[in-house]
């Protein structure tokens, strides 16, 4: 019989597997799944977002390595990195300063917008 702590650890590993699966399948987007899953598991909105941010680098490195090994990636990223770095810093500062309700509203609005755009495309 598993203790409550062991059950929570198993639950988090299963949630992590779903996030990794989404990132591997879609080449990104694991964070879109991670935030609501972390909230569902009991983390606050801001802690869910911050935890997700901490997962992005290793998750994306594993995904790009896999894509590269199987010939599905181009390592010619161009000048996108500069924008990603600047945007990442600004986003991290805003995450700390904005109320959780605004962050959640913006996050879920972007998810809905992206979903509608994909369906209508």
Which pLDDT score is estimated for 120? Answer: 92
Q: Over 80: is that where the pLDDT of 100 sits?
A: yes
Are 111 and 32 a contacting pair, CB within 8 Å?
yes
Residue 116 pLDDT exceeds 90 = yes
Nearest to 111 by CA among 35, 14, 25, 23: 35
Rounded (10°) angle between helices 100-120 and 30-40: 130
Q: What totals of helices (H) and strands (E) does the chain contain, helices first?
A: 5, 0
Separation of first and last alpha carbons in the chain: 49
The mean pLDDT value for 107-114 works out to: 88
Check pLDDT > 90 for residue 114: no
Look over the chain and give the mean of its residue pLDDT values, rounded to a whole number.
81
Q: How many CB atoms lie within 10 A of CB 55?
A: 18
The pLDDT of residue 77 is above 70: no
């Amino acid at each position: 019989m598993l203790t409550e702590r062991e059950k929570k650890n198993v639950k988090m590993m299963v949630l992590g597997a779903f996030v990794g699966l989404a990132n591997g399948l879609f080449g990104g987007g694991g964070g879109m799944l991670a935030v609501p899953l972390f909230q569902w598991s009991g983390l606050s909105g801001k802690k869910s977002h911050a935890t997700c941010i901490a997962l992005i680098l290793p998750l994306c490195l594993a995904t790009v390595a896999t894509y590269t090994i199987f010939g599905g990636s181009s390592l010619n990223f161009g000048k996108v990195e500069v924008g990603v770095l600047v945007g990442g810093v600004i986003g991290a500062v805003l995450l700390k300063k904005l109320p959780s309700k605004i962050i959640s509203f913006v996050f879920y609005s972007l998810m809905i917008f992206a979903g509608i755009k994909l369906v209508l495309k």
